[in-house]
Amino acid sequence: MRGNTGWQYRPYRPANRSAEAARPFICRLAPETDAVEVEWLDAGKAEAHLVTWRAKEGTPEWHAMVVPGSAVRIAGLEADRDYEVQVARQNDPEAASAIRLFRTGTVPGRVVNYLHPEDELYAFSGRSLCSPCLLMLPSGALLATMDLFAPGGPQNLTLLFRSDDRGRSWRYVADLFPCYWGTLFLHGGRLFMLACSTEYGDMLIGASDDGGHTWTPPTHLFSGSSSALAAGWQRTPMPIVRTHGRLFFSVDYGAWRQGGHSVGMLSVPEDADLLESRNWTCSELIAYDPAWPGAPQGKSNGLLEGNLVMGQDGKLLDILRIELTPCSPSHGIAVALEADPERPEAALTFHRFIDLPSGSNSKSHVLHDPVSGKYVAIGNICVDPATPGQRNVLALQVSENLVDWRIAKVLLDYRQESPGKVGFQYISFLVDGDDLLYLSRTSLNGSRNFHDANYSTFHVVDSFRQYL
């Protein structure tokens, strides 16, 4: 075993399980209504592989096919049923992958990746797919990342996938470890990932010059606690702002077990080396204050997951979710903090509360559309006051001024499904010409619960400005 020279693995395996990387390794599953796409790696470079599968329950026989490449689509399966699948070298059946699990079922959009709730392949990091991030490269290729989450788990692995046909098909690229809550972005002709090492861990950044296949070793920016028991850094894939010669990123610091999170702003000069930690600054932190004018009544767990955006008046604002489930009102409100881009280490200040339909209880993603001149957001809206934290209805929202918001279009409406089991959440989106492309952390078809997603799904809103 040699020392690390980068951030990437294909795949990452814990040291006591490193032998798994030398055998065929199923790196991507994408179930459909009655089919599944299976992709694998093999360091042994076998000319052909034997793919076997069977229904999980009962005593069904194994089905098999020989595949010359490294991916296959298995059709003719029963809908809404659990299956097992394995890949072995045709000339060496003992060299076989771990058995992976999947469940067939109808899914909106295109499945980028899937993880069955009972599949333990990534249990060293987590048991569900979290933190979607979507980015378009200058070539038009799309990159999608997601990390592996489990309550109280290590939570330190991110998976990277690529599409060269605008999201119609996806292929595995690499694992990043340690990497959690990461944001992909482009700057100076390079691809960057800004992330935490784990929940409440250290802030890290790394760069890639080949579309994400290989990465520099991550640079350590700021230290956290790396424990759910103590406050540390937290963020999720959110927009960045370039203004006043700097790059600005919203960041959180805190822990749920300590009552919530404070909010800060990371920044770095545009012309600086982003991989040099001394070039970065973080503002002083600001916590939620229930005495702010217009604050909801009741105990809120505070601010989280901010969107930095430039207002029409030139102010740099951070639009944040506010946890309101025990409050009155219990949903539909966001908080705007104001930053001073000329004083990047100064604390943000309270600006106002905003009536944003998806502004509470789950992340919203907010961007400015330069073509229409409007602000657009995607997030979860509450359609039943009895379940203010529901994430089974997803909506596109629009505003001319970041204050007055309206629902432009309901994108996914699964209100007939249990809000405890179904969720389309933590959207990452971008504008591509006349269309809007988004990536969802999706819980559906037998997920553990609405929060612990078993899918990462890709979606397109054609000609989205017609709804604005």
**302 has a pLDDT exceeding 90:** no
User: Is pLDDT above 80 for 1?
Assistant: no
Of 47 and 434, which is predicted with more confidence? 434
Kindly state the tokens that stand for 443.
């819980």
DSSP letters along 192-242, please? EEEEESSTT--EEEEEESSTTSS-PPPEEEE----STTS-EEE--S---EE
Beta bridge partners of 82: 103
Summarize pLDDT for 250-286 with one digit per residue, the tens. Answer: 999 999 888 889 999 999 999 999 999 999 999 999 9
% of the chain surpassing 70 pLDDT: 100
| Mean local confidence (pLDDT), 447-451 | 97
pLDDT in tens, 99-150: 999 999 999 999 999 999 999 999 999 999 999 999 999 999 999 999 999 9
CA-wise closest residue to 73 among 30, 44, 116: 30
Q: Which domains does the chain have, with CATH numbers?
A: 8-103 (2.60.40.10), 241-359 (no CATH), 363-468 (no CATH)
12 pLDDT more than 80 = yes
Tens digits of residue pLDDT in 174-228? 999 999 999 999 999 999 999 999 999 999 999 999 999 999 999 999 999 999 8
> DSSP 3-state assignment of 16?
helix
CA distances from 221 to 195, 216, 282, 308, 324 (A): 10, 14, 10, 20, 32
Residues ≥6 apart with Cβ < 8 Å to 403? 352, 354, 355
pTM over 0.85: yes
Q: How far is CA 286 from CA 142, 214, 380, in A?
A: 35, 37, 26
* Predicted pLDDT at 159: 98
